[in-house]
Amino acid sequence: PYETLHLATAAMGVAIGTPYFVARQVPCYLCQGYDELRCTVACPTGALEPTSAWTEVHIGIAVLDREMCLAWQGIPCRACWHVCPFPNEAIVLDERGRAIVQPEACVGCGLCEHACLAEPSAIVIIPEGREPL
């Protein structure tokens, strides 16, 4: 419903038709307001498995670059924490109000990357199964 997903082409280095999204442009909203994750229904390849709980979604993991993060540079910012569907679980704030990602609770929706005020984004989603650069 959000036109988030695209299908990979041969030039992308993954299987043709693999669903992907660019979080900085259009993140996964976890179909908030819907009874089910609409992408699993709409996926033409069957690559996305249905799940009944947002917490079972595993798109990727948010990785924070502290050198780019405004809060870690002393500038008050909580943008990623505010938009996270799992605040105080996937993204927690330390005693100075700086974001810390809890990988085990992060589903990789990309709302944090989309909301990040830094340019380029200080927080990015690393797809499931890939290593951070």
Instruction: Write the pLDDT tens digit of every residue in 42-98.
Output: 777 777 888 777 778 888 999 999 999 999 999 999 999 999 999 899 999 999 999
**pLDDT, tens digit (0-9, with 9 covering 90-100), for 95-111:** 999 999 999 999 999 99
User: Chain centroid to CA 129: how far?
Assistant: 14
Q: Using CA atoms, how far apart are residues 78 and 100, in angstroms rounded to an integer? A: 11
Q: Where are the beta strands (DSSP E) in the chain?
A: 6-7, 19-20, 60-64, 91-93, 99-101, 123-127
The domains found in the chain, sorted by start residue, are 6-127 (3.30.70.20)
Q: What is the maximal distance between C-alpha atoms in the chain?
A: 46
Segment 114-130 mean pLDDT = 92
Task: pLDDT band for 132, please (50, 70, 90 cuts).
Answer: low
